[in-house]
Amino acid sequence: MIAALHQHGPEEGKAIVSPRLPTFYRLLRPSGAGLLGVAYLIASYLFRIGPAYTGHEPFGVYVLSVILFFSASAGAAMLVHGHHLFDRIVVSKRWIAQAPPSLLREEANSDDAEGARRDPTS
């Protein structure tokens, strides 16, 4: 979907991003900021109740810690990368331990559904 938003201009092949992104992509950065706000609130709550529970913490503290971790991680990624979070990347062959033969051919890619199913000897 992101590839459909890029158009090549006539000048030096520069990519021009459409100023009109779908609503989902426009909401990624504000959602990331909201998740970081939630993480901050949970962290401040855990910091306040920390001295009250010495020894064995209740189960809710662990649940809040997990929510804190995931909301901070996802919020930071969404805020920093925005709609580029879903951009396609190229993985080098040396990082693929045992790639299927269809991935080793250059003409097959993730957009080519038939390329992954073709006979690798052809």
pLDDT tens string 66-79: 999 999 999 999 99
Q: Which residues pair with 6 in a beta bridge?
A: 17
Burial class (CB in 10 A: 0-12, 13-18, 19+), 82: middle
Non-local (6+) Cβ contacts of 1 within 8 A are 22, 86
Task: Fill in the amino acid letter for 36.
Answer: L
pTM of the predicted model as reported, rounded to 2 decimal places? 0.58
pLDDT at 82 over 70: yes
10 vs 48, more confident = 48
Average pLDDT on 46-60 reads 80
Q: Where are the alpha helices (DSSP H) in the chain?
A: 2-5, 23-26, 28-49, 59-81, 101-104, 113-117
Q: Which residues pair with 17 in a beta bridge?
A: 6
